[in-house]
Amino acid sequence: MIWNPAAETASRAERCRLQLERLRGAVAWAGERVPFYREAFAAADVDPSAIKSLDDLARPPFTRKSHLRDQYPWGLFAVPREALVRVHASSGTKGKPTIVGYTRGDLEMWREVMARSLALAGAEPGHLIHNAYGYGLFTGGLGVHDGAEHMGVTVLPVSSGNTLRQILLLQDFRPQGLACTPSFALHIGETMREQGLDPRAVGVGYGIFGAEPWTEAMRRQIEALWGLRAVDCYGLSEIIGPGVAMECVEFRAGLHVNDDHFLPEIVDPVSGDPLPEGAEGELVLTCLTKEALPMIRYRTGDLTSLDAAPCRCGRTTARIARIKGRADDMLVIKGVNVYPSQLEAALLTLDELAPHYQLVVDRTAGFPTLEVHVEPAEARVVAWGGFDAARPEVRGLSERVGEMLRGHLGLNLVVTIVPPKTIPRSEGKAVRVVERS
């Protein structure tokens, strides 16, 4: 079902007209209310009347995460703190969290775009959704929750963590939908298997998976484990939370951006120059309707491309490709650039390996070296009669994986096959890269 056909199937001309009108309003609102924007627009000689077409979106300067940090906590807000009805924070691990906030109107908009996203995944009023995204400062739990309630879905607010309780509830409630990070879906499913339970028997129909980068190979693993359709869900706190973009369960040919509220652009991550449709670059988003925390040309750091063609599902919203990684997650190992997701995609082509890996980047020698830690597939360990790193089979496997990665990615690296269940399992966002310095 399409939750809001008027918005999601509007013609290109109608959509552009609405976007332009809203863009002018958003620039005016930010410039009037937020000193940071007033000064930035003045310096770049931008005023709302200068926005005559959507191409003029390239005129205002970028907003970056560092601006949010510099203005911590309330500096970028367009309304007094008393007008906020909710605060969340980004899950960034470095330094102070990034604070975001919502007026009552913002929460209404969020519910609406989230309900659209759930419908994209296959949710319908009357369904039950098991929501194992974290509740709290993270936007995942409450974002999905509000959208589900708004749609008339029964939502089970389990939050993240406590895998055994998740399993119990999944078995007892047999939800149509499961919402959590892809790495947590994998962990819950594997824990069930270890207990002699079959995750497929729960009968979950669709998974609303996001908040971290993942690959098609990981999608196949999760789908085989659970027997569900896994749908990619993208969002970020600075823009709203989940609900920014979502694949349709029917075609899964890119994530539909709710572009009547969040206007996407793709720019060159280094120069910041706008890139043409279809080119890969950094996603930049402008909030068209947000009251509390306007965001004009926010540099997401996420790498993707844009497709404005209508989808076969009937929606005409622009689509972004699966996120390849973050511009700042790129590893440069002896002159070769690689994203963790490229390593994941290559690793998961081998059925001798389990989908559990960690990339250890060691900078102690001055130049970075890369060690890939990966667990062997369960069936391998059983065939070996247990795990022993000294066995020739284990050494042989690590050599094969090393050769494959060097061949695929041209990377110089060391592969270590680690004992089963030694890579930390994720109950939220998985940590794929560990830095040693």
Smallest separation, CB 282 to ligand DLL (Å): 11
Q: Coil, strand, or helix at residue 89? A: strand
Contact residue for ligand DLL among 252, 326, 421, 425 (CB under 6 A): 326
Taking CB under 6 A as the binding criterion, the range among 45-53, 78-86, 236-244, 353-361 that sits at the site for ligand DLL is: 236-244
Nearest to 345 by CA among 215, 432, 221: 215
Binding-site member from 23, 204, 211, 415 for ligand DLL (CB under 6 A): 211
125-164 footprint of ligand DLL as x/- string (CB under 6 A): --------x----xxx------------------------
Q: Is 76 in the site for ligand DLL (CB under 6 A)?
A: no
- Least Å distance between CB 260 and ligand DLL? 19
Our finding on whether 300 is near ligand DLL (CB under 6 A) is yes
If binding is defined by CB under 6 A, does position 48 make contact with ligand DLL?
Answer: no
CA distances from 366 to 70, 389, 432 (A): 30, 29, 22
Q: Using alpha carbons only, give the angle 235, 238, 242 rounded to the nearest 5 degrees.
A: 25
Distance between CA 259 and CA 295 in Å, rounded? 14
Contact 362, 369 (CB under 8 A): yes
- Is position 254 an interface residue for ligand DLL (rule: CB under 6 A)? no
Binding mask 162-201 for ligand DLL (x = CB under 6 A): ----------------------------------------
Applying CB under 6 A, does 323 fall inside the site for ligand DLL? yes
How do strand 306-307 and strand 319-320 relate by DSSP bridges? antiparallel
Minimal distance in Å, beta carbon 47 to ligand DLL? 30
Helix H or strand E segment including 403: helix 392-409
Residue 309 has, within 13 A of its CA and on its CB side, a CA count of 9
Q: For residues 177 and 173, what is the distance between their CA atoms, to the nearest angstrom?
A: 11
Distance in Å, CB of 435 to ligand DLL, minimum: 17
Half-sphere exposure of 361 (CA within 13 A, CB side): 18
Closest CA to 110 of 239, 19, 21: 239
- Write out the residues near ligand DLL by the rule CB under 6 A: 90-91, 133, 138-140, 210-213, 232-237, 241-242, 300, 302, 323, 326
